[in-house]
A and B are shown apart, each in its own frame.
Chain A
């Protein structure tokens, strides 16, 4: 790679667009940041390397959103949750491809990637989501 990628949220979503869940690993203290950040909050290092995060995790908590903001209204009701991944990493997102009443804390989930491309407005971030493993 000729151009050094930056450890930013923008770059995180560029990887999501490629179907990859990537975190930034601090070269000094080893902490993995998901999402990546340009300054390690543990040791203040600015040196990172990309690391692919395994896609499987388990559900820590969830809710079913009935009253949604304008842009999500046509999707409601929909489920969102926080998923525990390996290395103590946690990430929130929608839970799809499962009936709301079948969702349980502790259930195994895997991350999946939306294929549709973003709008012309900022931000042009594709979305990931969770589905039963």
Chain B
């Protein structure tokens, strides 16, 4: 069964990422859905799409919950079952997995999965507070530990244990900003220098402004179907051949390690085994760089390098666009932006573009196998998906 397609992606859409003033989450989702419909003229959305799962983290932003039905309506899919999945920043990684379950159950042939978040109309302290809701309230939030603070705790531990440097963290930012510069849908299409990253203001030491992902508005939508009927819709389906998800203690203080996310390691192991591949088989990866340290830890958790060697991997340039293993070709959460609920399926969108050779200026040559690594909160949820072109 190894490497057998679980489902096939037949289309994908992404809204512009950025500060989308005057737009509401449901309106942004409609933009992503529209692109997915337009890319797939053989699909009749009203007839063929049987259910929708949408990742959305926070109802605080727009004072709006019940996101499933809301976005289904605005996407023109009224009356299909529509369900919101919430696993913090991994909400749409979980939506993708829910969609895979729906197809594999035999109940639905074709499913839309996606995610959305509208964040930029709120002030930074408000967003800081809402994001912190993904962490433990009675012991983390209550004691003033912010979301960047949790990753800063990991960064300090990683630096202490392995000698990872602030410069190596900044190199992640420089790389991802370069990739985002090449991505017309990225929030911040701007290159930055190492000096600029290192001299930016401190958010939660050792993390500085350029170590943090962006507060962004955006939506993503993917259409998946049974592999046997994928060719009905497209000549270039992208198969999902591995899917993993795991959980961990909500409080990072309870975990065995502060230098690795166990949930991500478990999810990766599941996905690799299902796909029948090894980490070195991956040609292109989107990893959850909510903070620069998170990308370094992701390299290690995914087995792309040994534990403690993530800093060297970035320093050697191996994960650059022209490197051995390009990571975050989209610009990542750092530069493309991180509309929390949209991120998981936005990663799948980038992998879809790469494997169908539609990534334009940031196209990785001969990419056959892609990986998406999506983390919820400080690591209490992780999903890993592996994609293969035919």
Contacts and interface: CB of A to CB of B under 8 A. Distances in A.
Which bracket fits the contact residues of A? 20 to 34
B59 to A, nearest CB: 18
A1 interface: no
Contact of A60 (B126, B207, B258): B258
Interface residues of B, number: 36
Nearest to B147: A69
Contacts of A68: 125, 128, 144, 146
Nearest to B124: A67
Given A72-B144, A82-B258, A90 B129 contact: no
A18 to B, nearest CB: 17
A62 B156 contact: yes
Among B148, B252, B254, find the residue whose CB has the most chain A CB atoms closer than 10 A.
Answer: B254
B3 interface: no
Contact of A65 (B138, B139, B204, B253): B204
Given A60-B258, A66-B201, A92 B140 contact: yes
B238 interface: no
B160 A92 contact: no
Nearest to A10: B138
A63 B253 contact: no
Contacts of B104: none
A62 B153 contact: yes
B205 A66 contact: yes
A92 B143 contact: yes
Contacts of B144: 65, 68-69, 72, 75, 78, 80, 94
A76 to B, nearest CB: 9
A2 B201 CA distance: 55
Contacts of B128: 67-70
B138 A63 contact: no
Among A68, A69, A78, A100, find the residue whose CB has the most chain B CB atoms closer than 10 A.
Answer: A69
Contacts of A65: 144-146, 148-149, 152, 204
B205 A64 contact: yes
A67 to B, nearest CB: 5
Nearest to A100: B205
Given A94-B143, A123-B138, A61 B160 contact: yes
Nearest to B131: A69
A107 to B, nearest CB: 12
A105 interface: yes
B192 interface: no
Among A13, A73, A82, find the residue whose CB has the most chain B CB atoms closer than 10 A.
Answer: A82
Among B128, B132, B156, find the residue whose CB has the most chain A CB atoms closer than 10 A.
Answer: B156
B157 interface: yes
A69 B160 CA distance: 27
Interface of B: 124-126, 128-129, 132, 138-146, 148-149, 152-157, 160, 201-207, 251-254, 258
Listed from nearest, the 5 A-B pairs whose CB atoms lie closest are A63-B152, A61-B157, A64-B205, A72-B144, A92-B253
Given A9-B138, A62-B156, A125-B138, 11 more contacts: A13-B138, A61-B157, A62-B153, A63-B156, A69-B125, A77-B205, A78-B144, A80-B143, A80-B153, A92-B252, A105-B160
